[in-house]
Amino acid sequence: MAQRRLLPLVPEDVDLASLGEGPREECGVFGIYAPGEDVSTLTYYGLYALQHRGQESAGIAVSDGQRIVVHKDMGLVNQVFRDSGLAAMTGHLAIGHCRYSTTGSSSWANAQPQYAETPEGNGVALGHNGNLVNTLELARKLDVPATNDSEVMCRLLARDAEPSVMDAIAGIAPELTGAFSVVCMDEERLYAFRDRDGVRPLVIGRLPRGGWVVASETAGLDIVGAVYVRDVEPGEIVAIDQHGIESRRFAAAEPHYCLFEWVYLARPDHVQDGRSVYAARREMGRVLAREAPVEADVVVPVPDSGHAAAGGYAVESGIPYADALVKNRYVGRTFIQPTQTLRQLGIRLKLSPVREIIDGQRLVVVDDSIVRGNTSRQLIAMLRAAGAAEVHMRITSPPIAHPCYYGIDMATRAQLVGADMSVEEIRAFIEADSLHYISLDGLISATPTPKDRLCRACMDGQYPIPVPGEHEDHAQFKFDFEGTASSSVTPSAAEATRVADAREGRPVEE
Ligand code: SF4
């Protein structure tokens, strides 16, 4: 049995709660039009299935045809909604949202659905998944300040909502630049629209008794018993009411679906272009086994997203598979304070090794990505402390070398270990015996989608949607908007310092 060793101390700038987790998605959206059904409770369950896309806040807006009621708060879906609260939210259509913040801070005001009143006193509620890159420009069109891109969008729609919300969307959507998969509603109709690149997913399903559902992923349909009908197409607006679906285009489709949804973000049971994410991840493992074989005794997944790929690697290589890492599922984000003791525990807070499997073995460890490198470094140290003879890392994405501006919190360029280090330098930093990333072409071959219809900007730097100031840092981009959204174009000293720190490579708090 190997001697118990302390793990490397987690650096002070690293969020302990983020260890053992991949990049953070920022939102899941859900919408339902179903007279006669308990739409609030169905929305609650829809959000439950989409909880992996955002865990900081949740909300539901419901309408009975006369008025819209919104309830939202900080926390997980089951923390925000109690049975009694849902029972009071009656109506025939609803939208729901769960959020992790990428633009605007994590606060109640930024929780969604956003709500705004029209000039005639009617309501518009909106939930958004994605990130706009021209929010600053859009915010200038409003008389009142807004704190994030989704609020700007909601206020613009409410401003123009009379006489027709559909017309308002058709007028405003072409002015939005960036990624947006949106559900919104007035008192009578459910609407959904998606950017012309279709960066984030958005699907439509039909309930057995005739209602309609819109959700970020097919898992949101499955959980309420809806059957997948089709995607909301890139560049399309749909309006749903008792007459069915009305469809209108605001732009020709130019698909650039997020490749990282396949690698990490989407649930394994999500189906896109006819293939499940599970099947694609399993194929990624097979591709990795062919591209980067190694002599080893056991293939180990990093939970949860590594499971399917590790299975594929094991089948292709003939090396046995074993669940040698157990996830401590109920360690919440909220209660992890960065004390010295917890920094020393690091990854042990999230993952526990099964020594019986690991001791004396040569491991192939399959993970989805390496963002900052601290999680991998801690993980490998923990496996060695548990007796691993060798640790060979295999990663199902190419190096993440560029920030994401389309809704995934991929840290700043300065914090991406793949931006400045070679693969060999990263291997040395995480102290693996070997490290191999899947090739970009290999990864794409595991999906059903051709290369020119995928966004892969965080991997190859080819941004399909132009990003103002892209050569600057992600922190600068965020700062530009936040400075204006608070009604001031002059940066505060703290903001200016934050940006300067990012440029100099010092850590910047997200
Ligand atoms: S930059 Fe990366 S994470 Fe962002 S949308 Fe493109 S592929 Fe997805």
For residue 245, pLDDT over 80 is answered with yes
Tell which one of 194, 200, 259 to mutate to probe ligand 1, the residue whose CB is within 8 A of the most ligand atoms. Answer: 259
Residue 23 pLDDT > 80, yes or no?
no
Q: Which of 34-38, 142-146, 218-222, 291-295 has the lowest mean pLDDT?
A: 142-146
Alpha carbon distance 394, 416 (integer Å) = 18
pLDDT digits (tens, 9 = 90+) for 265-276: 999 999 998 999
Looking at ligand 1, which residue's alpha carbon is closest to its atom 4? 404
Per DSSP, 321 falls in state: B
DSSP letters, 394-429, are: EESS----S---SSEE---GGG-HHHH--HHHHHHH
Atom of ligand 1 nearest to the CA of 457: 1
Amino acid in the structure at residue 3: Q
Instruction: Identify which has the larger pLDDT, 239 or 3.
Output: 239
CATH architecture of 278-452: 3-Layer(aba) Sandwich (3.40)
State which of 458, 463, 477 you would mutate to test the pocket of ligand 1, scoring each by most atoms of that ligand within 8 A of its C-beta.
458
Range name among 89-93, 110-114, 415-419, 489-493 with the lowest pLDDT average: 489-493
Residue 455 pLDDT exceeds 60 = yes
Ligand 1 atom closest to 261 (CA): 8
Residue 332 has pLDDT above 80, yes or no: no
Which 8-state DSSP code applies to residue 162?
S
Whole-number Å distance between alpha carbons of 74 and 279: 34
- Please say if the pLDDT value at position 110 is more than 90: no
CATH of domain 28-255: 3.60.20.10
Closest-lying ligand 1 atom to the alpha carbon of residue 402: 1
Q: Supply the residues annotated as catalytic.
A: 27
Name the residue with tokens 């290589």.
317
**Contact between 283 and 446 (Cβ < 8 Å):** yes
Please tell me the distance from the alpha carbon of residue 416 to that of residue 414, in angstroms, as a whole number. 6
| Pocket perturbation via mutation, ligand 1, pick of 261, 404, 412, 470 by most ligand atoms within 8 A of CB | 404
Single-letter code of the amino acid located at 422: S
The set of long-range contacts for 277-283, using a CB threshold of 8 Å and a minimum separation of 24, is 278/308, 279/308, 280/446, 280/447, 280/448, 281/305, 281/307, 281/308, 281/309, 281/312, 281/396, 281/446, 282/308, 282/309, 282/311, 282/312, 283/312, 283/445, 283/446
Distance (Å) from CA 474 to ligand 1 centroid: 13
The span from the CA of 346 to the CA of 328, in Å, is 13
pLDDT of residue 395: 98
Ligand 1 atom at minimum distance from 258 CA: 8
Ligand 1 center to 510 CA (angstroms): 18
The percent of residues in the chain predicted with pLDDT above 90, rounded, is: 68
Burial label, 324 (beta-carbon count in 10 A; 0-12, 13-18, 19+):
buried
- Specify burial of residue 450 (Cβ count, 10 A radius: 0-12, 13-18, 19+): exposed
More confident residue, 122 or 500: 122
Most confident of 16-25, 469-478, 480-489: 16-25
CA of 199 to the centre of ligand 1 (A): 8
Lowest-pLDDT choice from 107-111, 178-182, 392-396, 483-487? 483-487
The β-bridge relationship of strands 390-395 and 362-367 is parallel
Q: How many CB atoms lie within 10 A of CB 318?
A: 9
Q: pLDDT at position 288, please?
A: 98
Dist. CA 474–CA 405, nearest whole Å: 7
End-to-end Cα spacing for the chain: 41
CA-based torsion, 138, 140, 142, 144: positive or negative: positive
Q: Which residues line ligand 1 (CB under 6 A)?
A: 199, 258-260, 404, 406, 408, 455-458
Whether the pLDDT of residue 451 is over 80: the answer is yes
Q: How far is the CA of 171 from the centre of ligand 1 (A)?
A: 27
Ranges of CATH 3.40.50.2020 domains, the chain: 278-452
Burial profile 464-498: b = 16 or more Cβ within 10 angstroms, e = fewer? bbebeebebbbbbbbbbbbbbbeeeeebeeebeeb
pLDDT higher than 90, residue 165: yes
Give the pLDDT of residue 87: 85
| Rg (alpha carbons) of the chain, rounded to whole number | 23
What pTM, to 2 d.p., does this model score?
Answer: 0.87
The percent of residues above 70 in pLDDT, for the chain, comes to: 82
Query: What pLDDT does residue 484 have?
Result: 34
**The predicted structure's pLDDT at residue 508:** 29
How far does the centroid of ligand 1 lie from the alpha carbon of residue 457, in Å?
6
Q: Which residue has the higher pLDDT, 234 or 144?
A: 234
Question: Which of 264, 443, 455 has most ligand 1 atoms within 8 Å of its beta carbon, as the pocket-test mutant?
Answer: 455
At which residue do the structure tokens 């606060």 appear?
107
pLDDT of residue 329: 72
Rounded CA gap, 104 and 36, in Å? 37
Where would I find the H helices in 69-163? Answer: 77-80, 83-87, 135-139, 149-159
Average pLDDT, integer, range 470-476? 48
Residues 6 or more apart in contact with residue 84 via CB below 8 angstroms: none
| Lowest-confidence segment of 118-122, 142-146, 312-316 by average pLDDT | 142-146
Partners of 182 in beta bridges: 128, 193
Residue nearest (by alpha carbon) to ligand 1 atom 7:
456
Return the higher-pLDDT residue of 498 and 139: 139
Q: Whole-angstrom Cα distance, residue 51 to residue 78?
A: 10
Confidence of residue 172 (pLDDT cuts 50, 70, 90): very high
Atom 8 in ligand 1: which residue has the minimum CA distance? 258
* Higher per-residue confidence, 52 vs 205: 205
Distance in Å, CA 400 to ligand 1 centroid: 10
Return the ligand 1 atom nearest residue 403 CA.
1
Ligand 1: nearest atom to the Cα of 454: 7
Distances (CA, A) of 379 to 327, 351, 390: 12, 8, 13
Phi and psi, residue 142, nearest 5°: -100, 150
pLDDT band at 98 (very low <50, low <70, confident <90, very high): very high
Task: Kindly give the number of the ligand 1 atom that is closest to the alpha carbon of 259.
Answer: 7
Give the DSSP H or E segment for 391.
strand 390-395
pLDDT for 400 equals 94
As a whole number of angstroms, the distance between CA 420 and CA 373 comes to 12
Written as one letter, the residue type at 277 is V
Domain with CATH 3.60.20.10 in the chain: 28-255
* pLDDT value for 507: 32
Least confident of 275-289, 393-407, 491-505: 491-505
Residue 191, CA distances (Å) to 30, 153, 223 in order = 11, 14, 21
- Is the pLDDT at 483 greater than 70? The verdict is no
What atom of ligand 1 comes closest to residue 407's alpha carbon? 4
Cα atoms in the 13 Å half-sphere on the side-chain side of 160: 16
Q: Is pLDDT of 285 > 50?
A: yes
pLDDT recorded at residue 193: 98
Nearest-CA residue for atom 5 of ligand 1: 258
Residue 229 sits at φ, ψ, to 5 deg, of: -105, -55
For residue 480, whether the previous peptide bond is cis, meaning omega lies within 30 degrees of 0, is: no
Position 15 scores a pLDDT of 60
The pLDDT-based confidence of 421 (bands split at 50, 70, 90) is very high
Centre of ligand 1 to C-alpha 308, Å, is 21
Candidate of 260, 371, 397, 440 to mutate for ligand 1, largest count of ligand atoms within 8 Å of Cβ = 260
pLDDT tens digit sequence for 184-242 = 999 999 999 999 999 999 999 999 999 999 999 999 999 999 999 999 999 999 999 99
Q: What is the mean pLDDT of residues 308-335?
A: 86
Q: Determine the distance separating the centroid of ligand 1 and the alpha carbon of 153, expressed in angstroms.
A: 22
Ligand 1 mean position, distance from CA 391 (Å): 29
DSSP code per residue over 235-256: TEEEEEETTEEEEEESS-----
Q: Which of 14-28, 88-102, 325-339, 423-437 has the highest mean pLDDT?
A: 423-437
Helix axes 474-485, 493-503, angle to 10 degrees: 170
Average pLDDT of the chain? 86
| 223-233: pLDDT as tens digits | 999 999 999 99
pLDDT at 411 over 80: no
Q: From the CA of 455, how far away is ligand 1's center (Å)? A: 6
**Closest listed residue to residue 12, CA positions, set 291, 342, 447:** 342
* Residue 346 · residue 322 · CB < 8 Å: no
Lowest mean pLDDT among 104-113, 122-131, 198-207, 277-286: 104-113
- pLDDT category of residue 12 using cuts at 50, 70 and 90: low
Give the closest residue (by CA) to ligand 1 atom 2.
458
